[in-house]
Each structure stands twice: as C-alpha cells, then as structure tokens.
Amino acid sequence: MGKGQETALKAIDESLSRLPFNPFEMHPDNGTNILNHIIYEYAFVRSIVLSRSRAYKKNDNCFIEEKNRTRIRHNIGYLRHDTESELKIIDSLYKDLLEPYVNFFLPVIKLVKKERINGKIHKTYDKPKTPYARLMESNQVPIEKKQEMKARYESLNPAELKRQIDKKIKELEKVYDKKKGLVSRDKSIDLKNTFGVAINRSFRSLSVS
C-alpha cells in the first residue's frame, strides 16, 4: 500500500505486463511517486519515452481524468479504503472482473472532430466500439496477441462478470462497514455515485463510534 516509489514501480510493471502491445510512452502527472530516478531508469531500459503533464493542467491527461468517475468512483465510491483486506478485494475487483468486463464488453466512443458553428461547439464521434474491437482492428498488435485476446473473449460471460462485480463491491462495502463499526447500511442511498452521501456516511460512522 502507499504511494512510494517502489510501490508505484511495482504497479506500473504489473500493468504494462498485461498490455497486448509494447507501449512507447508513459505520460503521468507531476507526482513524485512517478517522476523519479527509479521510474526513469525503468522506462529508459525498456525504450519507453517518459513525458509529463504541465503543472495545474489536468487536461494534459484528459483521457485518464475522464475515466476517474466511470472506472473508479462509480465502482468503489469516495470512501477511504486503507486496509490490507480492502486492498485485496479492490485488486481482485479490477484485475479479475472489471478489467475483462470493461475492455471486452463495454463500447466507448472517440471524439473525431470538434468545431464551432454559430457560437456553439459541435462534436462528432466515431462508431462505438469496445477496446477489444479496436485492438483487433489495429495493425500494431501482433497476430499472436490477437489470437490470445480472441480466445479469452470467447471464454468470458459478460452477465456472470457483472454479477461477480456486484458481489465483490458488496463484499468491499461489508469490510468497510466492519472497519468503521457500522451496524447497518442505508439501502435508500447509493454510496458509489454521490460525494455528499460519502461525507454523510462518514458522519454516521463517527456517531456510531
């Protein structure tokens, strides 16, 4: 756990090892857990260009920032998960369930053109496709990797993945409740999607303790 250099290096190495292609550039923000000699040497050895965003210009990393809600907050919310048991559940949730579910079965659109007409911004998007479909169309992915991805795709059941995702999220919520000493959960609210609800839940935990 934590945001130290060694922890960041381990996370980066594990993430890159699961990619079906060889990345040529890493573009983080200005966090010192990434911008350091350890990560620089790691990237240099692998011929990966290491660039960075400008300070206070989060749109330099817009393709990551736009996923913070749909891929992070929508699933695990705004609550603080800071124990080993919670980390283990979150790791399993993303590596085993959300990663294949999102990449193989959730289509996304990409912005093709943006133009101003009569004072209004008009955006044009391409046809919705899953990340898997886009990689299968790419000539930068080796045939062997495409065959591996196809075999994995055919082995997956999206409905079962979604059921397991919901089950894992409930498991995480129970562990959090136990950590905070909460007796019951208010079923009328959605803890994952509302920042104010997360704050309210923090106050509830204080009142219980």
Q: What is the spatial distance between Cα 8 and Cα 37, in angstroms, rounded to a whole number?
A: 12
Residue 54 has pLDDT above 90, yes or no: no
Q: What pLDDT, on the 0 to 100 scale, is given for residue 180?
A: 86
pTM of the model: 0.79
What average pLDDT does this structure show over 61-76? 82
What is 1-65's CATH topology? Nucleotidyltransferase; domain 5 (3.30.420)
Q: What pLDDT, on the 0 to 100 scale, is given for residue 209?
A: 44
Residue 12 has pLDDT above 70, yes or no: yes
Write out pLDDT tens, residues 94-140. Answer: 999 999 999 999 999 999 999 999 999 999 999 999 999 999 999 99
Q: What pLDDT, on the 0 to 100 scale, is given for residue 185?
A: 54
Token pair of 157 as six digits: 């059941």
Residues 6+ apart with CB under 8 A from 176: 79, 81, 86, 182
Residue 186 has pLDDT above 80, yes or no: no
177 contacts 95 by C-beta, under 8 angstroms: no
Q: What pLDDT, on the 0 to 100 scale, is given for residue 2?
A: 72
Rg over alpha carbons for the chain, rounded to the nearest Å, is: 20
Strand boundaries in the chain, DSSP class E: 25-26, 49-50, 111-117, 120-125
Task: Locate the domains of the chain by residue range.
Answer: 1-65
